């Protein structure tokens, strides 16, 4: 039981890192405000590959795909809010922050329902 719980946390962490790095890669490649760096691209490749290997080799318990998608969305929103806070010329970070709070509460409800 403990091994399954650790495995689930790893999947959620990889989904979160994939969300962060996909938004980071997009910002690095297509935003004039964010300076270029190769590290988001490397992180995206490694996180996506590890998440794919985990998907191929292990079965996901019921409810895990929706939680993984929520953590992926949380990573995207977190990076967007951080970049907008650092570079205010891009725009306000109000909407990503509000959506982040909603996703966090939804994740909390889903995790509480699983236990």
Read off the pLDDT of residues 61-80 as tens digits, 9 standing for 90 and up.
888 899 999 999 999 999 99
Q: Look at the chain and report how many structural domains it folds into.
A: 1
Q: If we measure between CA atoms, which residue out of 39, 43, 104 comes closest to residue 77? A: 104
Cα–Cα–Cα angle for 17, 100, 26, rounded to 5 degrees: 45
Report pLDDT for 50.
94
- 11-29 per-position pLDDT tens digit: 999 999 999 999 999 999 9
pLDDT given at position 78: 96
Q: How confident is the model at residue 41 (pLDDT cuts 50, 70, 90)?
A: very high
In terms of residue numbers, what domain contains 7? 2-114
- pLDDT classification of 45: cutoffs 50, 70, 90: very high
pTM here? 0.90
- Contacting residues for 48 by C-beta, under 8 A, at least 6 apart: 18
- pLDDT at residue 40 greater than cutoff 70: yes
């Amino acid at each position: 039981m403990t091994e399954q719980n650790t495995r689930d946390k790893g999947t959620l962490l990889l989904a979160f890192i994939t969300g962060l790095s996909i938004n980071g890669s997009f910002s690095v490649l297509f935003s004039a405000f964010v300076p270029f760096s190769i590290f988001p691209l490397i992180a995206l490749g490694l996180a996506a590959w590890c998440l794919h290997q985990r998907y191929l080799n292990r079965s996901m318990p019921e409810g895990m795909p929706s939680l993984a998608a929520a953590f992926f969305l949380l990573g995207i929103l977190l990076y967007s809010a951080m970049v907008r806070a650092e570079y205010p010329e891009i725009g306000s970070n109000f909407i990503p922050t509000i959506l982040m709070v909603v996703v966090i509460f939804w994740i909390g409800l889903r995790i509480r329902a699983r236990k």
